[in-house]
Structure 1
Amino acid sequence: MMGHEMFTGMGFVWMLVIGIILVAPTWRLCQRIGYAGPLGLLILVPIANIVLLYFIAFAPWKTKTEQNRE
């Protein structure tokens, strides 16, 4: 029974690692295309992650000149 608790703790660690691996690049991508970085957290939410990917793919990206005007 003691081994089970060890794997439960490791499961949390793996979820945290996978979350970081997914959120960090999505956060950075959102910032680079001119949207708020925290929008990248949606990658962790089921269904919202698919909507986020479609939004990134098809939404107009703000260029550097557009960002400088604001």
Structure 2
Amino acid sequence: MRPFSLLFLLLVIIPLWRICQRAGFHGALSLLALIPVIGTLIVGAVLSFGEWRAPKSRTGNF
């Protein structure tokens, strides 16, 4: 595995996986980011315009 691939995995895919899960989407959606340019745009569009199915927090204003 090339060093750049590992760095991309650690800095992009893993955080995107967690964001997708917390938003109520399947974490594997983040794997679309592996497709150059268009994959990241698709994931961004889904997270931006999709309805987040995650339960809303009952404490605080977060």
Same-fold call, TM > 0.5? yes
Match of 2:47 in 1: 56
Structure 2 gap segments, 5+ residues each: 57-62
How do 1:1-70 and structure 2 match up within 5 A?
12-46=2-36, 47-64=38-55
Q: CA deviation at 1:15?
A: 2.0
- Indicate if the aligned counterparts of 2:33 and 2:40 stay in contact, CA closer than 8 A: yes
Inter-partner Cα distance in structure 2 for 1:28 and 1:55: 14
Match of 1:5 in 2: none
Inter-partner Cα distance in structure 2 for 1:63 and 1:38: 16
Q: C-alpha root-mean-square deviation of aligned residues, in Å?
A: 1.8
Render the CA deviation track for 1:16-38: whole Å, top value 9, x for unaligned: 11222110110000000001111
Identity fraction in percent: 31
Match of 2:60 in 1: none
Structure 1 gap segments, 5+ residues each: 1-8, 66-70
Give the number of aligned pairs.
55
Following TM superposition, where does structure 1 have runs of at least 4 consecutive aligned residues deviating by more than 4 angstroms?
A: none
Inter-partner Cα distance in structure 1 for 2:50 and 2:16: 15
